Amino acid sequence: MAPPPPPTPSPAQPKTRKKDHVRLNNPFPRAVPSSSLRHRDAAPPLSFSPSSKLAHGAHDFPVGLHFLLRWDPSLGGAVSLAPRRGGGGATMWETVPGVAFVSAASVDTEADECRGSFALRDGRARLVPDRQRVDRIRAVYRRDADADADADLLRVAGAAFQASEHEQARFPVVVITGVVSARKPTPSPSCLCGRRRAAAAAGRPVLSARYWILLEEKSDTQVAFRVNLGDYQWSCDHDRHATHPSPSPSPSPSTSPRTHRAGSILRLRLSTRVQRSSGGSKKKKKLAFAAAGVPADREELAPLVPAAAAKEELEFNRVWMTLASSREERFYGFGEQFSRVEFKGKRVPVLVQEQGIGRGDQPITFAANLLNRIVRPADENSETAATVTDRGALVREFIACASGGNWSTTYAPSPFYMTSKMRSLYLEGYDYSIFDLTKPDRVQIQVYGSSVQGRILHGGSPTELITSYTESTGRPPALPRWITSGAVVGMQGGTDAVRRVWKQLQDHDVPVSAFWLQDWVGQRKTSIGSQLWWNWEVDDDHYAGWNDLVRDLRRRGVRTMTYCNPCLVPKANARRHLFEEAKKLGLLVRDAAGEPYMMPNTAFDVAMLDFTNPAARAWFKGEVLAVMARGGAAGWMADFGEGLPLNARLHSSGSGDDGPVAAHNRYPELWARVNREFADEWRSGEHRRVADDADDGDGDGELVFFVRAGFRESSRWAMLFWEGDQMVSWQANDGIKSSVVGLLTGGMSGFPLNHGDAGGYCTVDLPLLRYRRSEELLLRWLELSAFTVVFRTHEGNKPGSNCQFYSNNRTLAHFARCAKIYKAWEFYRIQLVEEAAEKGLPVARHLFLHYPEDQRVQKMTYQQFLVGTEMLVVPVLDKGRSTVTAYFPMSDGGLWKHVWTGDEFGGRTSRGGVGEGMSHGSEAEVEARIGFPAVFVRVGSTVGERFVRNLRDLKVL
C-alpha cells in the first residue's frame, strides 16, 4: 500500500529544523526563546460600551452554587472570581483593570529539534493584538433553556464543559462575550476597502473575532473556564479610527463597504466543518460563533475580503490570558523543575523534552552544547552510521547525552501553578504554553493555539490546592509494599556479577527489595562504549541461567526488575525481530514519506512505537511487557517518552484532536498509560500463564514501573516517577542539589511518588573535562535517597569511572547503614504512600506546603525538606561539609528533636537563637558527619518515637 501524502502545513504547525547532525550548536542558547511580540502588545486595552449595563456599576454573577464572578467597570473594567461565602472570601482569579484579559494574534512558529531537545520560538508576526471589547456578561440558568431566546447559548454552554455525556452541567453558567481584534504589524498602502492611500494615511488590516468565555462550577473547589474564538471578519484600522477618533471605548468593527458588520444580537450554534486529513476526509463538529447575518466559515467570508487580504490566514493561532498578580506574590508548580522552586520574574515554557546535561552549570553546559552535535562516529550495528572521524573520538561521551539544556528544560512539565496568595489554576489540553511572570502586576499565559481551557482552583492552603488539582488530573495507586521494603539495587554486568554483589549485601545485612538490571537485554559495543540492545528480550549469553537467577532471588524475598522504552532497533541475531514485526504491522511512528521515522539516539538510530494507534498499545502489552513479566520481571524502568519528533506522522494525525506539539506533550501520558494498563491487567490475571504468580494479599504479585517523562495527567497512569539523568556532581542545576529541587517541585505539581538515581547518572571522563562520582558524593547521595519513597542506586552511564556502593568495605557499610535508615521509617512510608493515592500529597514535601506564610520558607530551594509532616531532613549537598544550617518554622509552635543526639530545636529557645527578621522561626548550625545526616522528628510525635526506636533495633542508633 502506498504511503499517504504528507499533511499540508498549517499556521499552527511549526516549521521544524532538524539539528541532529549539525556540527556546532549554539553554545549560549536562550533560556526561553523570546516572543516576537512585546509584553504590552499581548495585553492591549480593554473596553466596553458606555451605553450598556456593564458601565453602570459593579455586578455579581453566580457561578454554580459556590462562586461569584464580579464585573467592576471602574479603572477601565475588570473581572474577578471568588468563593461566595456570603459575598466574601479570597479572590481566586482577577484581571488587570483596563487591560485586555483575552487577546489573540497570528504568528509563525519555528522549532529546532535535536535528539529529544526542542526549542520553539515565534517567527514572523502576521497579526499582533489590537484590543478586547466586553459586550455582555450573563449568568445562564437551566430554566433559560425553555423560556429564553438564548436557548442555543445554554445548550452550547452545557455541552462545552461536560467531561462525558453522563455529566450534568452545574448551573448557573456564566458566559462573557465580546470581540478581540488583531492588526497587521506594519501599515499597508492598500486598505481593505480597496482605496489606495498616501503613506501618511496608510491603514492596517484588522482581523476581529467574536470570543466567548464560559465559566462553570465543576466542584466546590473548581471552576472550569474555556475561551473560544469564532466569526472572523476583516476591517481597516484607518476607517475605524477615522470614524471613531477616541481610543476608548473601543468601537465596533468598521462598516466600510468591503467588510460585513456583525449584528448586535449574538447567537451560538454547533457548526459542522469538513476537515481534510492526509488519510482521507473526516467530519468534525466544532463550536463556533455565528452573529446574526455574519458567515462563520472561511469559504463564506472569502468574497468579503480583498484578494491581498485573502492570502493571509483568517484565524488566530495565539491566545493570551492576562491575569492580575502582585509584586510579593510567589509562584510554585509547573511540573518537575530542577533549577527553581519559585518562578516570579521568569517566563516558564511548558514543553516536554530532555532535561539536558549541565542545564546552565559550567563548564559542562558549554561543552555539551559545543560538542554534542559532532557527526556521530560509526557503529558496526547501525545501518545509517556516519563515518568515524579522529575528532569524534575525543567527544564520544557527549554524543550519548542530550544538549546542554537550561534552567527550564525538563522531562515532566505541567501547565499548573499555585501561589503564596493561594491562587491556582491549570490548563487542560496539550498545546505549548508559556507562563510569563516577568511583570510584577500580572500573569500572562500564552497558548500556541486558537482556544484555551482549564480550571481555577480554590483552597485555603497549598495542600488543599494540591488535593483539588489531583482530584481531576489523577493520582497514582498505592505502591505494593515490596518496592518500599528495602533498597532497589541498580547494577549491570551479567549473572555472575549479580550473584557476587548479592553475596556481599548478605554479608553486610542490607535490606534489599529488588535487583534492577537494566542490561537484561544485553549490551552492544558502539563508538561510545557499551549500550543496551533495544530489542526487548533477555540476552541468554549476558545473563546465562536468567530463570535460575530470578528464582533464587525470589526465594529470598528479592525481586528482579528490568528496563524498557517505547523504541525499537533492528538486531541481526535476535530470536524475535521486534522492530521488523512492528514495522510490518504499521505500528511505528512515520516520517513524511510514510516510512518508519528513524531517530538519532546516542550512537544509533531508533524507531518509536505509535501509541496513538490502539493496535500498537495492544501489541506492546502482549508481545513485550507480557513476555518480560512471564520471564520473572516484577517491575521495570519505563524510560524515555519525551522525544516524539514534532514533524512525525501518527495514527491519529488528521483527526483534529492534536497538533504536532500537542501530540508531543501528550505522548508521555500515552506511554505511561500503556504500562499501567498492562500492570492492572496482570494483576487481574489476564496475561499470566502460571498460577503461582498470584498475589498473596500483600502486593507480592503486583508489578511496578517508573517513568521519567510526564505531563499534567501522568499521575493518573504512572505508578512512580524518577527524576531522570542528573550529573554526578555537587552543582545546582544538574547535580545533587537539582535532584532535591526536582523531588520537591514535582511533589507540588501533582507527582507525589518520586525518587532519583542515588549517586547520579551522567558521567564525563575526558582528559580536560571530568565529572566522575567521588566516594563522598556517593555517600551523601545515599543519605539523601534514604528519605525518598524508593531507595534505588544507579551505576551511571560509565560505571568504571564512578565510585559504587560495592567499591570497598567502607562504601558497602555506608550503603547498609542508609538502607537500614530507610527501613526504619517503612511504617510511615506506607501511610504516606496511601495518602498520596488518596489526596495527591507527596511523600517528600517542600516546607511551603505546611508553612505557606513563612517568607523564609517561600524562598527555599534544596536546603531542606519534610517527609510527610513528622520528619525534617537537612541534607549535606556541598563537598567537604560536615555541618548544615537547619531552619525550624514556628507557626505551629512545635519543637523538633535531633535523631542522633536527642537535642531539641525550634521555638524561641532553640540553639542558635532567633535571627534578625526571622519572626516565623529559628535556625541552628547542626553537625552532620557522614553517616549521621541531619534528621529531626517532631517532639511528642508517635511517628518520630517509632522511627527512633526502629533505628535502635536495627543497630543504627
Residues 6+ apart with CB under 8 A from 759: 728, 773, 777, 778, 781, 782, 793, 794, 795, 796, 802, 803, 804, 805
Q: CA–CA distance from 292 to each of 265, 380, 619, 809 (Å)?
A: 6, 68, 51, 83
What 3-state class would DSSP assign to 391?
Answer: helix
Strand 413-419 to 512-516 pairing: unpaired
3 state SS of 667: helix
Which of 224-246 are b and which e, b meaning 16 or more Cβ less than 10 Å from the residue's Cβ? bbbbbbbbbbbbbbbbbeeeeee
**Contact (Cβ atoms closer than 8 angstroms) between residue 172 and residue 64:** yes
Point out the catalytic residue in the list 41, 94, 130, 639: 639
Q: How far is CA 412 from CA 301, 312, 349, 530, 747, in A?
A: 42, 36, 12, 28, 12
- Residue with grid cell 493571509, as numbered in its chain: 312
Maximum pairwise Cα distance, the chain = 92
Active-site residue (options: 113, 725, 795, 854): 725
Burial class (CB within 10 angstroms; exposed 0-12, middle 13-18, buried 19+) of 523 = middle
150 classed as catalytic: no
CB–CB of 516/554 below 8 Å?
A: no
For cell 537537612, name the residue. Answer: 874
| 639 tagged catalytic | yes
- Lookup: cell for 617: 498499545
| The one-letter amino acid at 840 | G
Query: What is the spatial distance between Cα 468 and Cα 410, in angstroms, rounded to a whole number?
Result: 24
CA–CA dist 353, 453 (Å, integer) = 23
Closest CA to 514 of 497, 534, 489, 491: 489
Q: Has 854 been annotated as catalytic?
A: no
What are the DSSP E strand ranges found in 548-663?
559-564, 567-568, 599-601, 604-608, 633-638
For 146, counting Cβ atoms within 10 Å of its Cβ (0-12 exposed, 13-18 middle, 19+ buried), the class is exposed
- In angstroms, the CA 815 to CA 486 distance is 12
Using an 8 Å Cβ cutoff, are 754 and 879 in contact? no
Residue 251 — φ and ψ, nearest 5°?
Answer: -80, 175
Picking from 710, 614, 618, the residue whose alpha carbon sits closest to that of residue 664 is 710
Grid look-up 517532639 returns 939
Q: Does residue 517 contact residue 501 with C-beta atoms inside 8 Å?
A: no
Q: Of 426, 430, 435, give the one whose Cα is nearest residue 472.
A: 426
Cα separation, 703 vs 720, in Å, equals 11
498, 541 Cβ separation under 8 angstroms: no
- Read off φ and ψ for residue 83, nearest 5 degrees: -65, 150
Q: Which one of the listed residues 642, 669, 795, 923 is annotated catalytic?
A: 642
**DSSP assignment of 701-724, as one string?**
T--EEEES---TTGGGT-S-EE--
Give all strands of the β-sheet with 604-608 in edge-to-edge order.
Answer: 567-568, 604-608, 599-601
Residues serving a catalytic function are 639, 642, 725
